[in-house]
Amino acid sequence: DAGVTQSPTHLIKTRGQHVTLRCSPISGHKSVSWYQQVLGQGPQFIFQYYEKEERGRGNFPDRFSARQFPNYSSELNVNALLLGDSALYLCASSLSSGNEQFFGPGTRLTVL
Amino acid sequence: AQRVTQPEKLLSVFKGAPVELKCNYSYSGSPELFWYVQYSRQRLQLLLRHISRESIKGFTADLNKGETSFHLKKPFAQEEDSAMYYCALEAHDYKLSFGAGTTVTVRA
C-alpha cells in the first residue's frame, strides 16, 4: 500500500478561481480529514468525513467544502480563492474517527 | 475551544545531550494528546500518544493535567532525531489541533 495519496502535488491558481484537491485513503480506512498548513504554522483542521458523512468542521469560511465518495476517497473544494489560501493542504486517513491518522504528502497550493 | 502552545520554535542540542520539547494546552474536557514528527522530506507521522504510555525511539511524554502540559523528552539525543515536532490535542469531537511546531537540530 502506497499510503495516503494526494493529487495534484502542487498547483498555481489566480485569485477568484476555484480548486479541487483529491485524496485517496489507505485501503480499509473509512475516515478522511483535511488540514491547511500555512508556512511556519502547524496544520489547521478543516474537515473530517467518516462513512461519507461530515463529522467535524473547523473555522473555515463556506468557500471551503468537501465530500467523501463511496470508495472513501475525498475531495476538498475551495471557491473564490484568496491570496491567503496559499498553503500546503494535507489529507489524513484513519480506520475511523479517533484512530491514528496517517498523513499524505500534501498538495502545495499557490494563489497569485 | 482547544489550544496547543509550543513555546520554542527552534531547539538545538548536542548529540548525547537530553532534549525536552515543551507543549502546553488548554481544553475544558479530558484531552487526548499526541506528538507528531516530520523528518526531512517525509510525511507527518505519529510519534506517540499519551494513552499508550509507550516509549518510541527513546522519547517519552507525560501528561500533567495540573500544569496542562505534555512535554516530550529524550535523555540522549541522536542526530537522526533532527526533525520538526508537533504537539496535538484531539477534542471529544475528534478535531485535531496542532501547535506551531518545534524544529529540533541535533549537532554532532
Q: How far apart are CA A12 and CA B75, in angstroms?
A: 44
- Supply the CATH classification number for the domain B3-107: 2.60.40.10
Q: Does A51 touch chain B (CB under 8 A)?
A: no
| A contact test, residue of B96, B97, B98 with most A CBs within 10 A | B96
Task: Domains for chain A: give ranges and CATH numbers.
Answer: 5-111 (2.60.40.10)
- Half-sphere exposure of residue A14, counting CA atoms within 13 Å on the CB side? 0
Instruction: Determine the distance in angstroms separating the CA of A47 from the nearest CA of chain B, rounded to an integer.
Output: 8
Within a 10 A sphere around the Cβ of A105, how many other Cβ atoms? 18
B32: alpha, beta or left, given left = phi > 0 and alpha = psi -120 to 50? beta
Please calculate the CA angle A56-A102-B57 and round it to the nearest 5 degrees: 130
Residue B93 has a pLDDT of: 79
Residue B16 has a pLDDT of: 97
Q: Amino acid letter at B73?
A: K
> What are the cell numbers at B19?
532534549
Print burial letters for B72-94: b (CB count within 10 Å at least 16), e (below 16): bebeebeeebbbebbbbbbbeeb
End-to-end CA gap in chain B: 41
Q: Which of A4, A43, A97 sits opposite B98 (nearest CB)?
A: A43
Tell me the domain boundaries of chain B. 3-107
Q: Which positions in chain A touch B97 (Cβ < 8 Å)?
A: 45
Mind listing the pLDDT tens digit of every residue in chain B (108 residues)? 889 999 999 999 999 999 999 999 999 888 899 999 999 999 999 999 988 777 789 999 989 989 999 999 999 999 999 999 999 999 887 789 999 999 999 999
CB A109 within 8 A of CB A13: yes
Residue A1 has a pLDDT of: 65
Q: Which of B43, B46, B96 sits opposite A45 (nearest CB)?
A: B96
